Structure 1
């Protein structure tokens, strides 16, 4: 007997709707962060990129010649981090500039 594969497929309109919502959320979040930096006289640049976060972040650091990369840490435990990987850990070891890792507030 042949094995059956199942999958979930979204209609293009649903995919487009989700993409637009993600884009709007990203734009609002970056605008707020940019304004905070501006108020504190911190030169900042914002980008919205797609792909594997750890790879894309490190590539962007090189492209914009960043002086400092600030990344958040979700505070995963050792076991979860081993399975899921850590974007902040990857960036700390591969980014071409100093990296500041901000841990979550307790």
Structure 2
């Protein structure tokens, strides 16, 4: 089963990632005592971070007026977004290491950041990757889950009620 975990700069998303690693990917001690299944499961973990699209870069030049930013400003903002995304994925990498994940390698291509992870335990091997997608987070995360054929999308909760969500 493929599990997508939404990653942002909140404690809630870090907790969601830790919960997924602790409860879905590593077997409990009771599971280790059971005979192995005929075909071992190979769950996949995908860390997904959604970047808001960069539509317009404007700055004020006086009361009631603004100008569009130069292309160099747009590139500067995109570079800052990419750096922030790398930082988020590095924090997610540390959480994975704390939960027993061995090697994590991040490769970046434009705004798509991929990571290859191999988790080996007594009963389970997990492959994982991290991806940065562009779009409004609610829509981008759902679209990524559908495009990647995920069986589960995990997001942190801010404690809002059903109506406010």
Calculate the TM-score normalised by the size of structure 1. Answer: 0.54
| Match among 85, 88, 98 for residue 26 of structure 1 | 85
Tell whether 2:98 aligns with 1:14.
Answer: no
Contact persistence 1:49–1:56 (CA under 8 A): yes
Structure possessing the higher relative contact order (Cα contacts under 8 Å, 6 or more residues apart): 2
| Match among 129, 144, 151 for residue 45 of structure 1 | 129
Structure 2 gap ranges (5+): 1-63, 102-118, 120-125
| Match among 121, 141, 151 for residue 57 of structure 1 | 141
Tell whether 2:156 aligns with 1:72.
Answer: yes
Find the aligned partners of 1:57 and 1:77 in 2 and give their Cα distance. Answer: 20
Structure having the larger proportion of residues in helix: 1
Calculate the TM-score normalised by the size of structure 2. Answer: 0.37
Structure having the larger proportion of residues in strand: 2
Q: CA deviation at 1:20?
A: 0.2
- RMSD of aligned Cα (Å): 3.0
